[in-house]
Amino acid sequence: MKKTAKTSGVPEPSVRRMPDYLNYLRLLKNKGRDYVSAPYIAKDLNLDATQVAKDLAYTKATGKPRVGYNLNALIASIEEFLGLNRTDLAFLVGAGSLGEALIKYEGFGYFGLNIVAAFDTDENKIGQEIHGVKVFHIDKLRELAERLHPVLGIITTPAAPAQQVADLMVGWGIKAIWNFTPCSIKVPEKIILQNTSIYANLAVIMKKVQTLYDNPISKIEDISNTL
Amino acid sequence: MKKTAKTSGVPEPSVRRMPDYLNYLRLLKNKGRDYVSAPYIAKDLNLDATQVAKDLAYTKATGKPRVGYNLNALIASIEEFLGLNRTDLAFLVGAGSLGEALIKYEGFGYFGLNIVAAFDTDENKIGQEIHGVKVFHIDKLRELAERLHPVLGIITTPAAPAQQVADLMVGWGIKAIWNFTPCSIKVPEKIILQNTSIYANLAVIMKKVQTLYDNPISKIEDISNTL
DNA sequence: TAGATTGTTAATCGATTAACAATC
DNA sequence: TAGATTGTTAATCGATTAACAATC
Nearest CA to the C1' of C23 belongs to which residue?
Answer: B65
Question: Average of pLDDT values for A80-108?
Answer: 93
- DSSP class of residue A68? B
Question: Average of pLDDT values for B161-173?
Answer: 97
Percent of chain A as helix, strand, coil, to the nearest 5:
50, 15, 35
Question: Average of pLDDT values for A209-226?
Answer: 56
Q: Taking all residues of chain A, what is their mean pLDDT, rounded to a whole number?
A: 90
pLDDT tens track for B88-141:
999 999 999 999 999 998 778 888 899 999 999 999 999 999 999 999 999 999
Report chain A residues whose CB lies below 8 A from the CB of B8: 207, 210-211, 214
Report chain A residues whose CB lies below 8 A from the CB of B209: 83, 88, 151-152, 175-176, 192
pLDDT tens track for B195-208:
999 999 999 999 99
- CB proximity A42–strand D (7 Å threshold): no
- Categorize the per-residue pLDDT at B215 as very low, low, confident or very high, splitting at 50, 70 and 90: low
**CB-based contact A208 B194, cutoff 8 Å:** yes
**How many CB atoms neighbour CB A45 within 10 A?**
16
Question: Average of pLDDT values for A7-23?
Answer: 91
Q: Within a 13 Å sphere around the CA of B35, how many CA atoms are in the beta-carbon half?
A: 9
Q: Taking all residues of chain B, what is their mean pLDDT, rounded to a whole number?
A: 90
Chain A: give the shortest CA distance to residue B64, in Å: 23
pLDDT (0 to 100) of residue A215:
59
pLDDT (0 to 100) of residue B8:
66
Question: DSSP states of A134-193 as a string?
Answer: EEEEGGGHHHHHHHH--SEEEE-S-STTHHHHHHHHHHTT--EEEE-SSS-----TTSEE
E strands in A80-138: 88-93, 113-120, 129-130, 133-137
Question: Average of pLDDT values for A47-60?
Answer: 96
- Please determine, for residue A7, whether its predicted confidence score (pLDDT) is greater than 90: no
Report chain B residues whose CB lies below 8 A from the CB of A2: 46-48, 51
- Categorize the per-residue pLDDT at B218 as very low, low, confident or very high, splitting at 50, 70 and 90: very low
Chain A: give the shortest CA distance to residue B169, in Å: 16
- Please determine, for residue B221, whether its predicted confidence score (pLDDT) is greater than 60: no
The structure's pTM equals 0.90
Protein-proximal nucleotides of chain D (any atom < 7 Å from a CB):
3-9, 14-19, 22-24
pLDDT (0 to 100) of residue B213:
81
Residue A58's nearest CA partner among A9, A5, A93 is A9
pLDDT tens track for A191-201:
999 999 999 99
User: Which residues in window 6-35 of A are less than 7 A from strand D by Cβ?
Assistant: 11-14
Strand-pairing partners, residue A135, are: A118
